[in-house]
Amino acid sequence: MNPDSIPLPEDQDAEAHRFSDYALPEPLTRAIDGLGYRRCTPIQGRVLPLSLADYDITGQAQTGTGKTAAFLITILTHLWEQPRHDRLKERLPAPRALVLAPTRELAMQIESDGQDLARHMDEEVFCTVGGMDIQKQIDRLQRRRPNILVATPGRLIDLLHRGKVELSAVEILVIDEADRMLDMGFIPDVRRIVFRTPHKHRRQTLFFSATFNEDVMRLAKSWTLAPEHIAITPEQVTVDAIEQLFWLTSGADKRKLLLDFIKRKRPERALIFTNRRDQTHQLTRWLIRHGIPSEALAGDVPQNKRTRTLERFKDGSVRYLVATDVAGRGIHVESISHVINYDLPEDAEDYVHRIGRTGRAGASGVSISFVSEDDAFNLPAIEAFLGDSVRCTQPDLGVD
């Protein structure tokens, strides 16, 4: 499982709930113990007492707080406690739990975490996303008939239009990263999907979003029933755990600065963010030409290649990954030592999402942002979002 569900170290927050505090199914408890988890993260400790009691939840939380494990534990406990024995009579695959995620990488990570937690249970966690052979997914879906379906909205709409899946049996609906769904234009598809599930009076809905502006609140109100609202704001915690550096440079010198930094500092594992897909590929090719093995992760990369790239980054065979924000959202890799903002993000909130890829699970992390004449105007919004001013300095390339 990824750091999204890693609890606090044993010497921190002595009042943190332990997973053993809850009457979880024995096979699920065994999986949690086998993964080495004992204490809940703050959102897990606040969500689980309510979600396990069938309350609807609206949770303000971003990736890295532990929400993935919170809703997966809720789903697996529900399925264990309320088994159904008539599912073989269903004409179509009819999942009992549906998780909607905005990006392919996030959906696949949720599937991986679900498989880790369900390893001792007779439950199937199945992920269907765009960018992969749909007929193969249909065949697997028909063969496995999973209780838990994780999907991106576009691919699920396609399956519904083809009559390959039925959502009338959904008992738990999870909508993850609703604000990102809104930003990416997925809400019309999500509305059509939600309409195909049972009415909110007859299902449990867990709704998560990093922000709750007026548009997100409207969605939450329409899709949940008397929800318990839980707000976890990890932004400041994330920021406090990471050394943040802002280096002044010119747009023309950024490539050389990045190359010099990598060659002199030799970061253990670095995630490099750009703002555009074409720039991601151009920068990756430039690094390779200059002797720095690296790979690109962007929305136009075929899904099977993206999966292999992520696996190589996770196992350390690729140490430097150049990514866009959308692709980077699904990256949950331990021991990312550095996040480098080659471009300052256009959205201040994305800055926190980016640097949150490092400094996880009590480890140290470093964020370096290149500030040039091309994007310095994004700094005030970042400062306002952080609630603090930032200090721009000249690059420090001294050898450790």
CA distances (Å), 280 to each of 306, 321, 357, in order?
A: 13, 9, 18
Give a yes or no: residue 276 inside a domain.
yes
Closest CA to 107 of 152, 52, 173: 152
What values do phi and psi take at 161, rounded to 5?
Answer: -65, -35
**pTM of structure:** 0.66
Q: String of b and e for 177-186 (b: at least 16 CB within 10 Å)?
A: bbbbbbbbeb
Task: Tell me if 220 sits within 8 A of 239, measured CB to CB.
Answer: no
Count helices and strands (H / E) in the chain: 16, 14
Output phi, psi for 331, to 5 deg.
-90, 115
Same domain, 218 and 303: no
Closest CA to 79 of 30, 114, 34: 114
Q: Across the 400 residues of the chain, what is the mean pLDDT of every consecutive 10-residue run?
A: 38 58 94 86 91 95 80 97 74 94 89 94 93 91 94 96 95 94 90 97 95 90 94 58 89 93 91 90 94 87 80 88 75 80 87 78 79 89 82 77
Q: What is the pLDDT of residue 10?
A: 33
Last residue of a domain, one of 194, 211, 232: 232
Same domain, yes or no, for 67 and 167? Answer: yes
What is the residue whose two structure tokens read 């396609």?
158
- The angle formed by the CA atoms of residues 12, 14 and 20, to the nearest 5 degrees, is 110
Regarding whether 222 and 87 lie in a shared domain, the answer is yes
Angle separating helix axes 254-265 and 277-289, nearest 10 degrees: 50
What is the 3-class SS of 97-127, one letter each residue? EEEECCCHHHHHHHHHHHHHHCCCCCCCEEE
Last residue of a domain, one of 215, 232, 249: 232
Q: Judge if 73 and 185 occupy the same domain.
A: yes
DSSP 8-state code for residue 6: -
> Are 82 and 182 found together in one domain?
yes
8 A C-beta contact, residue 344 and residue 371: yes
Nearest Cα neighbor of 81 from 57, 54, 101 is: 54
Q: How many structural domains compose the chain?
A: 2
| Interhelix angle 104-117/67-81, nearest 10 degrees | 50
Looking at the structure, do residues 266 and 180 belong to the same domain, yes or no?
no
Token pair of 349 as six digits: 């909130």
Residues 8 and 87 in one domain: yes
The residue length of the chain stands at 400
Q: Could you tell me if residue 399 is inside a domain?
A: no
**Does one domain contain both 228 and 257?**
no
Residue 184 within any structural domain of the chain: yes
Q: Are residues 163 and 185 in the same domain?
A: yes
Q: For residue 22, which of 61, 68, 65, 80 has the smallest C-alpha distance?
A: 80
Residue 231, SS3 per DSSP: strand
Domain boundary among 232, 261, 276: 232
Supply φ then ψ for residue 367, to 5 degrees. -115, 130
Based on the fold, state whether residues 269 and 217 are members of the same structural domain. no
Q: Which of 317, 318, 381, 316 is nearest to 344 (CA)?
A: 381
Residue 224's nearest CA partner among 71, 90, 55 is 55
Domain ranges, residue 345: 236-393
| Contacts with 238 (C-beta within 8 Å, 6 or more apart), sequence order | 64, 352, 355, 356, 359
Q: Within this chain, do residues 219 and 240 fall inside the same structural domain, yes or no? A: no
| Residue at 398 is within a domain | no
Tokens of 41: 């993260």
Q: What is the pLDDT of residue 329?
A: 62
Domain membership flag for residue 349:
yes
Can you give the CATH number for the domain in which 358 is found?
A: 3.40.50.300
49-76: burial string, b at 16+ Cβ within 10 Å, e else = ebbbeebbbbbbbbbbbbbbbbbbbbbb
Residue 333 domain flag: yes
Structure tokens at 215: 């548009």
Q: Do 246 and 218 sit in the same domain of this protein?
A: no
